[in-house]
Structure 1
Amino acid sequence: MFGFMDYVQHAFYNATHWNHDNSYANLTATAQSLLNFDIPRGLRLHVSSLSAPNFATSYTLGSVGVVDGSISYLYSSLQLRAPSKSGEIDLRNVIRGYRHSRELRAPDNPYWWETWQRGKRTDRRDALLYGRLYLPRSTLEALYLRRISPTRQLKVSAVSDSTLANGGTVLAVLQNDYGKYSTEYLYSTDSGLLGVRGLYNFGPDPRHTPKLPPALEALQEPVVGRFSAGAELYYGLLNKSGGVSTGVRFTTLPRHTGFPYTMTVTLNPLMGNLSSTYAVKAGQNLALCSRFDFNFYSYESDLQLGMELWRRRQPSPAESDVEWATRLIRPGWKTASGTIGDPNPDVAGVLKTRVDQNWRIGVLWEGRIKELLFSLGVSFDLRRREQIFRAVGVELQYSS
């Protein structure tokens, strides 16, 4: 489940029309959401607040052997109107589930970002500042986001910790998103790392797709899937070592009439690692995923299977059928007969499970109880009979 600050950060992306998923770094995001979920350890409580549209705070208290916690602050120059109360937040916006790919969107016209007063430009670029202090370790992490233009964003993250080399590290990433393709250039003070990433989407270019009249648009054959390919290259100036990886993805789009699914293949030729994933939305509330990893040099392989099952809230006796249907429909839903709303099932929670070939199993239940968001998880290893349970924990989140 996303933390409150991650939720606010995604609200910033949405408000500035930034497609967070159109990046090579998120090529396998669907499989990671279904297989790489974290199991809580011990008891952890998060109390957060969006006290103003521009300012958010969050406090965390945990107990894993010793009492620890953190204090977080976030400022956005752009006012964020996302629901902040934990009792009102849509669970699908804070729970990492099957990732439905959206239609590519053309970048905003640069003229739309201009504001003029008395012949002078007065517009400013939106920015986000975030800081988090971990206690009692006194580790500090910070994030700076700035939208430079409709197609460009700068992201600078830093960590200060006495256990790290040179006392900390800084990572700067310049991101470009043109809809049809995206590029990223990064530099890290850790080993003087330089890197470049790119993702190309085959098919129509949203920047040059003409707007057709409704009559002609209905006759046009809809695009039901998208094929994407990308790669990354990085090199450490200090340790004189580098790496490269490449990958492809095919995913269905909202106009696909069958079961939504996503397939990916990634390859790291220097390390000899090959990974393939397949995720399918097998039903309205069920998603399945598999991942197979193989190394050409050692001939080692690994297989993981995962599942997520969503549970919907049943209508109360006091609610009529019309009221219940209204709760499930919001403006913007595109169907074969037109635009009538946005599918928003009133979900109560989700059950996630995963298992690998070594019989290591993880189970996670996430949902809401009254005004609290919770994550309850357990992981165990069936081959270690003397100590089957590996981790058990509960996380509670409350925000206002």
Structure 2
Amino acid sequence: MRDFMDYIQLAFYDASKWNRDNSYSQLTTTANALLDFSTPERLKVNLSSLSTPHFATTYTLGTVGLIDGSISYLFTTIPLHDTPSRSTLIPLRKLVPGYRQIYPPSLPPVFPAADGRDGDLAIGDTKGELKKKATLLHATLHLPPPTTLTGSFLRRLSPTTQLSLAFCSSRAPASKSAPQATTDNALFGFKGLWNFGPDPRKQNQNERDPAREPCRSLLSLLSAGGEVYYSPVSSVVGLSTGLRFTTLPAATENPHSTFPYTLTLTLTPLTGSMSTTYSLLASPNLAFSSRFGFNVYSWESEMVAGCELWRRSKKLHTLQRNSSLLFAVDDLTWARRKMGLPDAAVSVHPERDDLPDIQRDDHHTHHHHPQSPHASDSVIKVRVDQSWNIRALWEGRVKELVVSAGVALGPTSRSSLSYASPVAASGPGAAGGLSSYGWKSVGVSVLYSS
């Protein structure tokens, strides 16, 4: 489950119209959400609030074995009026990352002003008054001592450029008095992602020219990217490349279309590692993913499989039938027809602004409707690898709280401090020197926001 501050930061991206999917760092987002999700390891409580459209706070307290916490503050120049902040109103799909549908490249939108309006006034109006550009400031103080302060700074410089800065400051030991500074070995890097297909700028020109036919909608998208970094201090060089092939929402208009899926291939030539992932959205509420990794130098391999299942209560289904709405993801009208759902259902993308009037009214009049249609949503995630390391996660709402409960199971060593149950010496873990299989971690995380 995402932290409340991460949720607000994603809302900032949406409000500033920044396409975060068009980045090499997001190449394997879907597979990571289905296979690499983390489970709580202890009891954790989060109290958050979006007190004003520009300011948010979060207080975190963790216990069981180790007591720690953090205090976070966030400020943005763009007002987040349409961002639900109450834990009973936040769509759970925005807090729980899952299968993410990629959309075709498009022209950069008009640069947004700090007051939320669109147009060239974001850069400067006719009167010569310079408008503030979209900016986000975020800082977190981790407690108890030795305290650590982390923070980030985001600023939209142009419709296609965004500046991102991050810092981390730790308290030095009491025996040291000399100031120190570090930049992580002076690491320099570059990453990029390129999409194959029609140029949206040329497509926009064709649409303006009546003598030319507009380009046909893309049914799939192939993207290639890479990353390289170098440290002159430690003489470390890194290189990675990747490919991504995914179906697009336009493919759902074809009655013979297959289920939405995403394929990725990543290579790290210097270490000899390669990894392939395959993610499939079998229905609006069910997704599968698998990953196979291999190292050509050590001949080691990795296989991981996972899935997620979204569930809704009967009360929510009744509400959806009465309002003729189906709160699902990513324009899956064809999939709902295969499942026998009514064609009158409206597909709603969880992170777009083109919401139906009923849902939009809930955002502005949530004080009259204490429970949103997402109030009873819950999700179950399970993943397993070739070593039988199993993680299971349940996330949903309990009253006005968003609860995340998870458990991790797997082979453990004899000296491991876990709730492991011994097995026979001839069991599957005996050959590798592991004599037990049991609990690795159990935890619960609770979020309340206002």
Instruction: Please give the TM-score of this superposition, normalised by the length of structure 1.
Output: 0.86
SS of 2:283 mapped into structure 1: coil
Q: Which moved more, 1:107-116 or 1:94-103?
A: 107-116
Q: Distance in 2 between matches of 1:243 and 1:399?
A: 41
1:287-343 per-position Cα deviation (integer Å, ceiling 9, x unaligned)? 1111011001001111001111111232369858333x246499x969699996525
Matched, 1:399 2:407: no
Shift in CA distance, 320/272, structure 1 to aligned 2, threshold 3 Å: closer
Given residue 95 of structure 1, which amino acid in structure 2 is its aligned partner? V
Q: Distance in 1 between matches of 2:109 and 2:170?
A: 39
Higher strand share: 1
Deviation at 1:4, TM superposition (A): 0.4
Q: 1:107, 1:207 within 8 Å by CA — same for their partners in 2?
A: no
Task: Report what 1:208 is aligned to.
Answer: 202
Task: Report what 1:253 is aligned to.
Answer: 248
SS of 1:66 mapped into structure 2: coil
Q: 2:46, 2:58 within 8 Å by CA — same for their partners in 1?
A: yes
User: Residue 140 of structure 1: which of 141, 145, 149 is its match?
Assistant: 149
Q: Which moved more, 1:155-164 or 1:77-86?
A: 155-164
Q: 1:2, 1:95 within 8 Å by CA — same for their partners in 2?
A: yes
Deviation at 1:20, TM superposition (A): 0.9
Given residue 41 of structure 1, which amino acid in structure 2 is its aligned partner? E
Deviation at 1:97, TM superposition (A): 0.5
Deviation at 1:168, TM superposition (A): 6.4
Q: 1:381, 1:390 within 8 Å by CA — same for their partners in 2?
A: yes
Matched, 1:287 2:287: yes
Shift in CA distance, 314/251, structure 1 to aligned 2, threshold 3 Å: same
Q: Distance in 2 between matches of 1:47 and 1:4?
A: 9
1:270-349 aligned within 5 A: 270-315=270-315, 319=319, 321-323=321-323, 325-326=324-325, 328=327, 342=348, 346=374, 348-349=377-378
Matched, 1:32 2:40: no
Uncovered stretches (5+) of structure 2, i.e. residues with no partner: 112-117, 174-178, 253-257, 335-342, 351-372, 412-428
Uncovered stretches (5+) of structure 1, i.e. residues with no partner: 170-188
Task: Report what 2:65 is aligned to.
Answer: 65
User: Residue 151 of structure 1: which of 142, 160, 176 is its match?
Assistant: 160
1:25-52 per-position Cα deviation (integer Å, ceiling 9, x unaligned)? 1111110000110110110000000000
User: Residue 170 of structure 2: which of 158, 161, 166 is its match?
Assistant: 161
Shift in CA distance, 163/355, structure 1 to aligned 2, threshold 3 Å: farther
Q: 1:350, 1:366 within 8 Å by CA — same for their partners in 2?
A: yes
Q: Distance in 2 between matches of 1:51 and 1:216?
A: 53
Task: Report what 1:53 is aligned to.
Answer: 53
Given residue 127 of structure 2, which amino acid in structure 1 is its aligned partner? G
Task: Report what 2:387 is aligned to.
Answer: 358
User: Residue 113 of structure 1: which of 101, 106, 120 is its match?
Assistant: 120
Deviation at 1:66, TM superposition (A): 2.0
Q: 1:46, 1:398 within 8 Å by CA — same for their partners in 2?
A: yes
Q: Distance in 2 between matches of 1:66 and 1:230?
A: 41
Q: Distance in 2 between matches of 1:396 and 1:49?
A: 14
Given residue 195 of structure 1, which amino acid in structure 2 is its aligned partner? G
Q: Distance in 1 between matches of 2:385 and 2:21?
A: 27
Given residue 189 of structure 2, which amino acid in structure 1 is its aligned partner? G
Instruction: Please give the TM-score of this superposition, normalised by the length of structure 2.
Output: 0.77
Q: Distance in 2 between matches of 1:392 and 1:279?
A: 27
Task: Report what 1:127 is aligned to.
Answer: 135
Q: Distance in 1 between matches of 2:39 and 2:344?
A: 41
Task: Report what 1:17 is aligned to.
Answer: 17
Task: Report what 1:262 is aligned to.
Answer: 262
Q: Distance in 2 between matches of 1:237 and 1:131?
A: 30
Shift in CA distance, 339/154, structure 1 to aligned 2, threshold 3 Å: farther
Task: Report what 1:88 is aligned to.
Answer: 89
Identity of aligned residues (%): 43
Matched, 1:376 2:405: yes
Task: Report what 2:233 is aligned to.
Answer: 238
Q: Which moved more, 1:385-394 or 1:31-40?
A: 385-394
Task: Report what 1:182 is aligned to.
Answer: none
Q: Distance in 2 between matches of 1:168 and 1:367?
A: 43
SS of 2:56 mapped into structure 1: strand
Matched, 1:226 2:218: no
SS of 1:256 mapped into structure 2: helix
Deviation at 1:119, TM superposition (A): 3.1
SS of 2:218 mapped into structure 1: coil
- Kindly name which structure, 1 or 2, has the bigger radius of gyration based on alpha carbons: 2
SS of 1:123 mapped into structure 2: coil
SS of 2:270 mapped into structure 1: coil
Given residue 209 of structure 1, which amino acid in structure 2 is its aligned partner? Q
Shift in CA distance, 273/109, structure 1 to aligned 2, threshold 3 Å: same
Q: 1:74, 1:128 within 8 Å by CA — same for their partners in 2?
A: yes
Given residue 130 of structure 2, which amino acid in structure 1 is its aligned partner? T
Deviation at 1:65, TM superposition (A): 1.0
Given residue 252 of structure 1, which amino acid in structure 2 is its aligned partner? T
Q: Distance in 1 between matches of 2:266 and 2:109?
A: 31
1:246-298 per-position Cα deviation (integer Å, ceiling 9, x unaligned)? 01010011122321100000000000001000000112211111101100100
